[in-house]
Structure 1
Amino acid sequence: MVKIVHGAIRAGAALVALAIALPAFAQETVKIGAVYPLSGNSASTGNYAKMAFEMGADIINNGNPELAKIFPLAKGGGLPGLKGAKIQMVIADNQGTPAAGQNQTLRLITEEKVAALICCYQSGITLTASAVAERYGVPFLNAESVAANLTERGFKWFFRTTPVAADFAKAYSTFLKEQQAAGRKVDSIALVHENTEYGNSVSSVISDAFKKDGLNITMNVAYSANSTDVQPQVLQLKEKNPDVVIFVSYTSDAILYAKTMKEVNWKPAILIADDGGFNDPAFTKAMGSVTEGLISRSVFAPGKPGSVPAILDALYKKKTGGDGLDDVSARVLQGFFVVADAINRAGSTDPAKIRDALKATDLKPDQLVAGYDGVKFDDKGQNVLASTLVTQLRNSQYVSVWPKARATDPLVLPYKGW
């Protein structure tokens, strides 16, 4: 009997010792969900985003000495606000469809029990997926979808860091009016857009902004997303020969349009792409040599050596085997860091506390990957400090050309192409 008591005492002591020792080597894992196109026509973009998420989690979990000097969460060891909890990214494939995006979002919430979601690249998928998160009360951050209506639904759990269609439209308008003042023709403008939420919404916003600013859109060409033949549209453009063409397209469409324009030997004096597929590394690799001088928008430029963007760009090149951060992967990485920062400040995985921390976000420009003026959300969840650059494709790489105060290279017009 005594032996049993002594054994129980020894066992109890061992359990107490184990309980005391556990926090030293077993920390809570924080799951952050991401739903992106890992297959389908935008798979290249989605997989570059996946690598950005993985790199971001690695920086916080394991640290980076150079980055830690200016970026506190890069000291390593996990999230200090949660006693060193490590981040686990749970990344799902939306397959480029709203239905799959909605289903994967539901799975991450109900089965994976993610603390927050980052989603979804395509505006149409963001629209449906965010409704699921809203219903379940899970913080949902969008890093790159620009459809204006996403923040107009009265949602309480939705946040968006990226500049939106109105910001881009204003930038294009100001840029073109500057070219007009410099003597370039911008009398006729064609707007070519795919017909999903992204293309329809952005083209509508651009049309309204240009009309107010006295810029004349003479052609509005809508086409079916993921088309296999765009020759009719290109021949229509060639016949009308507008001074400026603005494309709102995803990757496969962007490549097809670039190929077809070369085949029919037509190019405008100014060719503008609303980011999207034209900024995908898959596009610049495949078509960069025949779209020299293409103008686009971007939130990212590597910046000065030793800056947060420059350091992260170099790290990303190591991760990808040579491809630096592009516009979308930079916005994705920025969105990830905003969510991680909020969870860290919340000191909890409780959804309401994370939401409150997101609402209180106030990040300064020198803390950012993207070239925003900061990150601060309004009552609708929109980052009111988001901003954009105008870039130009040179030797298959985009460089900043506008505004002049943030340009790294001079603007070269007319559009060269092939």
Structure 2
Amino acid sequence: MTPLRLACSVAAVALLATGCTAPEPPPGPVVVGMLAPLSGPSSDTGADAVRGAELAAAVVNDTYPELPVPLGPGTGLPGLRGATLTLVTADTGGRPEPAIGAITSIADSRHPVGLVSAESAAVTGALSSQAQRLRVPLIDAGSTADYLTELGADWYFRTGPSDSQLAESAFALLGRAPDTREDAVTLVTESGEDGAVATRQLRELAERSGATVSGQLEVPSDKPDAEALAASLGGGPARVVFAWARTVPAATAVAAAVARGEAGVTLFGLGEGFRALKQPGAQDPGLLRAVPWSAEFAGRSPVAQQIAELYRQRFGRPMTGAAVDAFTAVLTLAAAIDVAASDDTAAIRTALRQTTQPAAGLIVPWNGVRFGPDGQNVLAAAVVEQWQDRSYRLVYPVELATGPARWHRRDRAP
């Protein structure tokens, strides 16, 4: 027997004699699919979302002992013996047809245990239907449309607030304004099926809050015209405009129309268009918008500050709302995979339905994450920002606000 074989034999006998066995290696990486518009008009938002998802995967896979977020301190998924996450990204193109092709391709080639969508309501609806057929959990990190939770898809989950939750925060703030409480409200929505649904919801919420709806207007999706809208708004009784927009051009047109109109009109913006609106325009309408996350909140939250700094170090740019939404969704999915201690999609879906994440481990101003029977996070919340002095300032809820809301354009500082 050669010396090498003799040494190996002695080592094997010693191992058996002591009853020890070699530690079982962790399983292979767990695949998560990330679906985002990396081409088309929303490509910038899609790229931000992918960066947020990549940061979440890095937090899970690497060790961050001082980071008080789920799965931050350890390496990998402890429930799966340290297995890591592999993020597979696909371009949806911002349209339902290529999005369905993208989700099908990922499912066939990489067999993900979960999916995250950073898309509009229309595209996410198509992705949700396909995820239902594939029997893979889908986390919605981009849309807010209420109807998505009413489709009966039991593989669909949304981490952020719905349009109703966002609008409720806006009406709650309106109720605190001493000089607008009795004002009439005009509803302005972008054309399309989603806009019709938003109009009904806003009317119901307005009536529930005690506001009087004096009229409703529609902004064409294909050619939003600020001048025409300003003419329609002019001379009416409404002192408050509640607007919902799916696209940034429509949101821009509404903001411009209110700015051009009669002084003293308060504008509330809702929908994906206003959330993505970087600034209202040259003329400042004093825009108030309800959003799931605020950069000012992040600046005062120790957890959010740490994540934002990691993001800046990794990507060389500030963290955006789209990145925050995707980061939260991927981390939520990873926590469910860890609780399930399995790569079985049905077990992961069950874990999503049964687990709760406390607010302390989140970088968003919510009360936590707990999914209801319809897949909506019932602990999601909204904040209201106002465009003041060339930036968005957090004005509601009052316990988080950095300053008061400025009511009516006549009250704004020059």
Alpha-carbon displacement from aligned partner over 1:108-162 (angstroms, at most 9, x marks no partner):
2223321111114311111121011111111111123222221222222111222
Cα–Cα, structure 1 residues 318 and 396, in superposed 2: closer, same or farther, change >3 Å?
farther
Q: Distance in 1 between matches of 2:281 and 2:313?
A: 22
**So what's the TM-score if we normalise by structure 2?**
0.85
Q: Distance in 1 between matches of 2:240 and 2:316?
A: 36
Q: Distance in 2 between matches of 1:253 and 1:90?
A: 33
Residue 369 of structure 2: SS of its match in structure 1? coil
Kindly provide the amino acid, as one letter, of the partner of residue 311 in structure 2. Y
**Percent identity of equivalent pairs:** 27
1:387 paired with 2:381, answer yes
Kindly provide the amino acid, as one letter, of the partner of residue 221 in structure 2. A
Kindly provide the amino acid, as one letter, of the partner of residue 209 in structure 1. L
1:377 paired with 2:375, answer no
Q: Distance in 2 between matches of 1:376 and 1:190?
A: 34
Q: Distance in 2 between matches of 1:228 and 1:93?
A: 27
Q: Could you tell me how far 1:366 is from its partner in structure 2?
A: 0.4
1:254 paired with 2:257, answer no
Residue 172 of structure 1: SS of its match in structure 2? helix
Q: Could you tell me how far 1:341 is from its partner in structure 2?
A: 0.6
Q: Distance in 2 between matches of 1:218 and 1:417?
A: 29
Q: Could you tell me how far 1:362 is from its partner in structure 2?
A: 0.6
Consecutive unaligned residues in structure 2, runs of 5 or more: 13-20
Kindly provide the amino acid, as one letter, of the partner of residue 80 in structure 2. L
Kindly provide the amino acid, as one letter, of the partner of residue 309 in structure 2. A
Q: Distance in 2 between matches of 1:278 and 1:398?
A: 12
Consecutive unaligned residues in structure 1, runs of 5 or more: 1-5, 14-19
What's 1:296 paired with?
289
The answer (yes or no) to whether the contact 2:180–2:239 under 8 Å persists in 1 is: no
**So what's the TM-score if we normalise by structure 1?**
0.84
Q: Distance in 2 between matches of 1:43 and 1:156?
A: 29
Tell me how many residue pairs correspond in the alignment. Answer: 395
1:270 paired with 2:266, answer yes
Q: Could you tell me how far 1:248 is from its partner in structure 2?
A: 1.6
Q: Could you tell me how far 1:267 is from its partner in structure 2?
A: 5.9
What's 2:310 paired with?
315
Map 1:356-367 onto structure 2 (within 5 A). 356-367=350-361
Query: Aligned-pair RMSD on alpha carbons?
Result: 3.1
Q: Could you tell me how far 1:358 is from its partner in structure 2?
A: 0.5
Alignment partner for residue 324 of structure 1, among 319, 343, 350? 319
The answer (yes or no) to whether the contact 1:374–1:385 under 8 Å persists in 2 is: yes
Residue 221 of structure 1: SS of its match in structure 2? strand
The answer (yes or no) to whether the contact 2:52–2:325 under 8 Å persists in 1 is: no
Residue 386 of structure 2: SS of its match in structure 1? strand
The structure richer in helix per residue is 1
The answer (yes or no) to whether the contact 1:41–1:226 under 8 Å persists in 2 is: no
What's 2:34 paired with?
34
The answer (yes or no) to whether the contact 2:280–2:287 under 8 Å persists in 1 is: no
Q: Could you tell me how far 1:185 is from its partner in structure 2?
A: 6.0
Alignment partner for residue 191 of structure 1, among 143, 166, 187? 187
Alignment partner for residue 79 of structure 1, among 70, 77, 80? 77
The answer (yes or no) to whether the contact 1:316–1:323 under 8 Å persists in 2 is: yes
1:355 paired with 2:353, answer no
Residue 218 of structure 1: SS of its match in structure 2? strand
1:154 paired with 2:148, answer no
Q: Could you tell me how far 1:210 is from its partner in structure 2?
A: 0.9
The answer (yes or no) to whether the contact 1:289–1:395 under 8 Å persists in 2 is: no
Q: Could you tell me how far 1:346 is from its partner in structure 2?
A: 1.4
Kindly provide the amino acid, as one letter, of the partner of residue 46 in structure 1. G
Cα–Cα, structure 1 residues 40 and 245, in superposed 2: closer, same or farther, change >3 Å?
farther
The answer (yes or no) to whether the contact 2:39–2:94 under 8 Å persists in 1 is: yes
Cα–Cα, structure 1 residues 94 and 395, in superposed 2: closer, same or farther, change >3 Å?
farther
The answer (yes or no) to whether the contact 1:41–1:251 under 8 Å persists in 2 is: no
The answer (yes or no) to whether the contact 2:70–2:361 under 8 Å persists in 1 is: no
Cα–Cα, structure 1 residues 156 and 185, in superposed 2: closer, same or farther, change >3 Å?
closer
